[in-house]
A and B are shown apart, each in its own frame.
Chain A
C-alpha cells in the first residue's frame, strides 16, 4: 500500500495559564482562533477530528469529549472522530493518529486539537487527578506524583554524573527566556535568572519550583492534510517525515535505570530511521521539559551529547540559539506551562511557525530544515517522537 505524504499546514494556541475559562470554552477559543488565522480553512473541509485530552473526566467531569470539542469548534467530522489519551503525550498522540489516517488515505483534512483544564478551586483535588497518571492502586497510595519521581531521577543524575543545581537552573533560565518572546506562554512576563531560580523553594528535593512545569489551562490546534492539498493552505508546510513511540513499563518498580531512558532511544531510532536522518541533522527541537532534569537526559538520549554530559551541554549554551541544536525555542513546558493534552499540539505549532518564519526574532531559529518533537508521558515510561522537515508545498 502506498503511504501518502502528510503536511502540517497551520495551527494556533490559546493563551496558556490560569484561565478563567471552562474546558469547553477553551475548545471554543482555539477553534475561533484557528479559523481566524487560517481564512482558507473551511469547516466543511475538515473530515476528521483527533482530540488530545488527558484527564477531562477528572478535571472537567466530562467524558465523550471528542464530539463536545467538535461542537465547540463548529466542526462536523464525517470520517473519523476520536480522542487520544496518553497523559502528557495526549496531544502528540492526536497528531500521530491524524498522520496515520491521512497517510493511509482514510482522511484528507484533519484537525488535531488538544484541550486541558487543570486549575481547579481545590489544588488538592487537582493533585489527586495528577497522581492518577501513575499506577494508582500501587504507587498512588504512597503519594506518587510526578515531582517526587523526577526528583529521584535528578538525584541519581547528580550522583552518577555530578550534575549540579546550577545546570538544572540553566535549562529553566533558557526556556523561560524563550517564553519571554512567546505571548501565549504562561510565564511570558516573568524573568528568571539562574540566581533567582536557585533561591526558589524546594518542591521535591533536589528540585525547586523553577525546575518543575506547572498546572496550566490551555488549548492548541493544528491542521494536517494530504500532500496534494497542502498548497491550498500554506506555502511553508511542515512535512511529517518520521515518527516513533515506545512503551517501556508502568509501575515504578520497573523503571530500571532512572538516568538512561531506553524507551526514548527506541522511539528515536524508529523516528530517525523513518526520516532517514540522524540527530545531527536536527536544527531545533521541542522536547518534553516537564522538569529540568528531563531535558538534560533528553539531550543525552537523542545523542546530542554523551551520556552524563547534558548538564555541561546546556550550561555551555549548546541547546541555545547558536549552539548545536536549539532546544525549546517556544519556551518549553517550563516557560509555557503544561496543559497535558495541548502541549504536544502547541509544540507542533511552534514547528510550523519556525518553518514559516513567523516566530519573533528573539526565538527565531536560523534557516531551519529539520525539527524534532518529543513527549514523554507519566514517569518517562512512554516516549513519543516526531520528525518534521520544512520545505515548500508540493
Chain B
C-alpha cells in the first residue's frame, strides 16, 4: 500500500547533554510496593528492573529527562534503550524544558482506576513543551479543570509518589 512515511520529529534543540554516567553501576534501589504490581500503575523504577532507572534517579533530583540519539538527533519520548529510527543503542540523556502550554485537556470526574479514586476530579492534558518538539500527556495539578484553558502555561515537575518512587506531572502556573 502506498503510505507516506510518518514525519519524524526534528533533531535536538535542548540543553547540552548531561555528563556520561559513572562507570560503576548504580546500586539497586529497594522499593516498597504499596499494592501488587498488577494493580499498580507506577512503574518499577530500580536498576534491577529497568534499564531506564537513570530517568527515575534524575526525577529524584527534580529533573525530568529523556533520551536522544546522537546519531540522527531524534529526541525520544518516552525515554528508550534503542532508537526507533536508526536502532542505535548508544543514546544520551537530556533534560526536558520545564515550561509548556496546554494543547488539549480534560478531566476525570469519575471512573478512575484503583488508587486514583480519592484524587477525582483531576485534570489531564496534552502539553506542548516550549522549545522541544514534544507533546507530552500528563496530570495537571495546581488548578481545577474548570479554570484551565487551551494555551494555559504549565510547568513540568517531578514528585515523590510516597513509597520511595518518583514520577512527573504538570503544574498550572500563572499565564
Question: Contact at A255–B41, with CB atoms within 8 Å?
Answer: no
Using a Cβ cutoff of 8 Å, how many contacts connect chains A and B?
A: 115
Question: Contact at A127–B114, with CB atoms within 8 Å?
Answer: yes
- Which residue of A has the minimal Cβ distance to B161? A141
Question: Contact at A159–B137, with CB atoms within 8 Å?
Answer: no
Q: Tell whether A258 is near chain B: CB-to-CB under 8 Å.
A: yes
Question: Contact at A131–B113, with CB atoms within 8 Å?
Answer: yes
Question: Contact at B107–A251, with CB atoms within 8 Å?
Answer: no
Q: Tell whether B82 is near chain A: CB-to-CB under 8 Å.
A: no
- Classify the secondary structure of A's interface with B: helix
Q: Tell whether B6 is near chain A: CB-to-CB under 8 Å.
A: yes
One digit per residue, 1 when the CB lies within 8 angstroms of any chain B CB and 0 when it does not, for chain A 102-145 equals 00000000000000000000111101101100011111111111
A148–B125 Cα distance when bound, in Å, is 9
Asked, given contacts A143-B113, A143-B119, whether A204 binds B108 with beta carbons under 8 Å apart, the answer is yes
Q: Tell whether B99 is near chain A: CB-to-CB under 8 Å.
A: no
- Which residue of B has the minimal Cβ distance to A269? B1
Question: Contact at A127–B111, with CB atoms within 8 Å?
Answer: yes
- Report the count of interface residues on A (CB-CB < 8 A): 48
Chain B residues within 8 Å of A206, by CB: 106
Interface residues in B101-117 (C-beta closer than 8 Å to A): 104-114, 116-117
Question: Contact at B111–A151, with CB atoms within 8 Å?
Answer: no
A121–B92 Cα distance when bound, in Å, is 46
Q: Tell whether A200 is near chain B: CB-to-CB under 8 Å.
A: no
B142 to chain A, nearest CB (A): 14
A386 to chain B, nearest CB (A): 15
B112 to chain A, nearest CB (A): 6
Question: Contact at A253–B78, with CB atoms within 8 Å?
Answer: yes
Interface residues in B31-57 (C-beta closer than 8 Å to A): 39, 41-43
Question: Contact at A253–B134, with CB atoms within 8 Å?
Answer: yes
Asked, given contacts A244-B1, A246-B3, A253-B78, whether A156 binds B104 with beta carbons under 8 Å apart, the answer is yes
* A–B complex contacts, Cβ < 8 Å, 14 sampled: A124-B112, A124-B113, A127-B112, A127-B114, A137-B43, A142-B124, A143-B112, A145-B113, A148-B124, A155-B106, A252-B137, A253-B136, A255-B126, A258-B104
Chain B residues packing against A (C-beta within 8 Å): 1-3, 6, 39, 41-43, 77-78, 104-114, 116-117, 119, 122, 124-126, 134-139, 145, 150, 167, 169
